[in-house]
A and B are shown apart, each in its own frame.
Chain A
Amino acid sequence: DAGVIQSPRHEVTEMGQEVTLRCKPISGHNSLFWYRQTMMRGLELLIYFNNNVPIDDSGMPEDRFSAKMPNASFSTLKIQPSEPRDSAVYFCASSSRAPLSAKNIQYFGAGTRLSVL
């Protein structure tokens, strides 16, 4: 398996522009997570999907952020409009089990490094 695939790897955009990050989870995994990592705040969970349904989006920072999972093999994280403080590395992870199960192992993608100028 190719693992969790994220695109693009790097994104540079100007303030106010729309940004869309993409994620393809591991085939057969039914849990998907979006994280953000910054020097200031460390690693934070933004949203968790189970069977394509958003279960917990309490980590989404603002209404400018939205995430979708139209099918089991694809998810997007959109920021509109983007701001410089959104600059971070965004990770997608998937798992074959629910987050609180004893055998929960999340597999992370390589991340998208976003720079908003």
Chain B
Amino acid sequence: KQEVTQIPAALSVPEGENLVLNCSFTDSAIYNLQWFRQDPGKGLTSLLLIQSSQREQTSGRLNASLDKSSGRSTLYIAASQPGDSATYLCAVHASGGSYIPTFGRGTSLIVHP
């Protein structure tokens, strides 16, 4: 059974720092991996989706990398801002074609001015 772990569970940093959020998964046979952002009291917003054949995806100040063989993905946030404060979740789809993603518990990020 696929398990997804996110470390750290919580992070508090001053504005301007570059951040790395980690996501690890136990079964490397994945179809894709996706990073989401969740603001308090709201649903998820998709940030980046990496197919299993890809190594990384970039969007603005965000960069997500994928190392399928080691079961790891990282989300890099450059020059963090208070508006980045949210919970960040990763989710993987197994390569067997299941529609059911496995989510990590998330990293709660606070960027203070």
Contact = CB atoms under 8 A, between A and B. Distances in A.
Contacts of B61: none
A99 B42 contact: no
A100 B43 contact: no
A111 interface: yes
B49 interface: yes
B36 to A, nearest CB: 9
The bracket for how many chain B residues form the interface is 20 to 34
Interface in A76-109: 91, 93, 99-100, 102-109
A93 B103 CA distance: 15
B46 A100 contact: no
Given A42-B104, A105-B49, A100 B97 contact: yes
A55 B46 CA distance: 22
A106 B89 CA distance: 14
A93 B99 contact: no
Interface of A: 4, 42-45, 48, 55-56, 58-59, 91, 93, 99-100, 102-111
22 contacts: A42-B105, A43-B44, A43-B91, A43-B103, A44-B103, A48-B100, A55-B99, A56-B98, A58-B100, A91-B44, A99-B101, A100-B32, A100-B97, A100-B99, A102-B32, A102-B49, A106-B44, A108-B43, A108-B44, A110-B42, A110-B43, A111-B41
Contacts of B89: 43
Main secondary structure of the interface of A (DSSP, over half): loop
B55 to A, nearest CB: 15
A4 B46 CA distance: 14
B2 interface: no
B45 interface: yes
A108 B45 contact: yes
Contacts of B49: 102-105
Given A58-B100, A110-B43, A102 B51 contact: yes
